[in-house]
Amino acid sequence: MNKRILAIGAALGATTIYGLNHTIAKGVMPTYIQPFGFIVLRVVGAAFLFWIASLFGPKEKIDKKDYPRLCLAAILGMGFNMLVFFKGLALSTPINSAVLITTTPIIVLILSALVIKEKIGAQKFWGIGIGLLGALGLILFSSEVRQDAPNIPLGNIFILMNSVFYGSYLIVVKALLSKYNPLTFMKWLFTLGIFICLPFGYDEFSQIAWSTLPFEAIWPIIFVIVGTTFCTYLFNIFALTQLKASTLSVFMYVQPLVGIMYAIGTGRDNLTIVKIAGACLVFLGVYLASRRPKKS
């Protein structure tokens, strides 16, 4: 089979897993496991899998001069990013999560302008404004009362913070990804993530009632560790070997569609006027911010 077709399948598979994750991970929090305890499980499980996988990759050592950047990448990408996302997901709804997560390209654009002085044209400027307006609408006007979503506005703020931390991580990690084999890099990143997340999640992790966990809680935990964390990264890395980064970013638009359809199909969430209006503004903003302006 053509490698490009396989790469497209891998990219589609990764974004589909991400879309399903909003509802699947939400389903076990907080009934069976608290968000920070879940993150400890996630980083420990992923670190173990990447160490096993690295046995089949090249033997590399991290240069001492790269230690500070590696630690910062772990703090942003494997620490604060995951912690605020799962906390937000526990407080909010799967549809809000699936929509707000797509603001990441807008956040990256803003950070790029601030950190590396990348120029922002009129089209991208309007895209940033419209996208953030949609996100703000979801935060301020989400007044649903749900037992499984105790504080939707605060949860939405946490999910938006996830985009900020992840966008910062992408900028910090860029130089390291071009220097080291992905398996070498990720095994150390997730290993550092354990030490970063453990102080926040140890109490919640120790409260997990392992002996009474039903299958309906076990399989989502496995899905998050193996699917959402380990497989998606490998899928995206393979896709990048055959596709341009700009092409791969297009698949991001599939994630909220999968997330919304799965959440509604399983009865875990419902559409409201606020969600529809906010989603439309976010999608339009991301489209304008990500679209290449026409050459004059």
Query: Cα dihedral angle (116, 118, 124, 128), rounded to 10 degrees?
Result: 20
| Mean pLDDT of the chain, nearest integer | 85
Range with top average pLDDT, 26-30, 84-88, 94-98, 111-115: 84-88
Answer yes or no: is 186 within a domain. yes
CA distances from 63 to 50, 69, 108, 185 (A): 19, 11, 27, 11
CA distances from 112 to 67, 117, 202, 244, 282 (A): 23, 6, 35, 19, 19
- CA angle 104/108/110 to nearest 5° reads 115
In this model, does residue 230 exceed pLDDT 80?
A: yes
Q: How does pLDDT run across 79-91, given as a tens digit for each residue? A: 999 999 999 999 9
Answer yes or no: is 130 within a domain. yes
Answer yes or no: is 178 within a domain. yes
The tally of domains found in the chain comes to: 1
- How many other CB atoms are there within 10 angstroms of residue 280's CB atom? 13
Answer yes or no: is 62 within a domain. yes
In this model, does residue 104 exceed pLDDT 80?
A: no
CA distances from 83 to 159, 170, 174, 236 (A): 10, 17, 22, 22
Answer yes or no: is 94 within a domain. yes
User: Model-level pTM?
Assistant: 0.82
Answer yes or no: is 122 within a domain. yes
The domain in which residue 73 lies consists of: 3-290
Amino acid letter, residue 86? F
Answer yes or no: is 295 within a domain. no
- If you count them, how many residues does the chain have? 296
Q: What is the pLDDT of residue 242?
A: 78
> Can you tell me whether residue 26 is helix, strand or coil?
helix
- Band (pLDDT 50/70/90 cuts) for residue 20 is very high
